[in-house]
Amino acid sequence: MTRFLQCGREAVLAEVDDLDAALALYAALRAADLPGVTDLVPAARTVLIRLHPEMTSPAAVREAAAALEPDGGAPASAGTVEIPVVYDGPDLADVAEHLGVTPDEVVARHTRDPWTVAFAGFAPGFGYLTGGHPSFDVPRRPTPRTRIPAGSVGLAGRFSGVYPGDSPGGWQLIGSTTERMWDLDRREPAVLLPGVRVTFKAVRS
């Protein structure tokens, strides 16, 4: 079930039951290309639909979005990215123990299956990646770290992610990359945009 909330004159927030429903709705909205819609911002259980008030109205967008029939498909690909990772994170052994496998197997699983950026949030350039190996469902650390270095690659729940800058955080850190996830000097500052397909590649330090 989808609940629509008006956000002023320029946006409508669609609330759904879970991540799968949010991704399905996001995919349907992208495919529909509704007139006057200027941007779509997916999240874990919502999709923010931004609109141009001189081209359409929140009521019209709400009616059109409610008439869509999401089929559960993934968002259309927004390109592919390969991220080289040195798998030497401080939590790699703990993640392996939690999964009942070796650290090498954690690396193999993390690099074997592709991931997709479901949505962005937390910090500029931080993408929540879904997919990957089905065994990954890793609890956050009981006590978050006060500082995680930029480029740290982590796991939390069903998600994987790469910290774009130094920040606090509670994800399980399994490696690091020298790739910059957020750079204001680029035309598109963020590497991990919704719909981008991601593969991780193990490299030596």
Residue 99 reports pLDDT greater than 90: yes
Instruction: Please give the pLDDT value at position 79.
Output: 86
Residue 64 reports pLDDT greater than 90: yes
Q: For 13-30, how does the pLDDT look when each residue is reduced to its tens digit (9 = 90+)? A: 999 998 888 888 988 998
Q: Say which residue, 121 or 88, is predicted with more confidence.
A: 88
Q: How far is CA 27 from CA 6, 23, 41, 60, in A?
A: 21, 6, 11, 19
Q: What is the arithmetic mean of pLDDT over 30-56?
A: 92
- What's the mean pLDDT when you consider all of the chain? 93
Q: What is the number of other CB atoms lying within 10 angstroms of the CB of residue 82?
A: 10
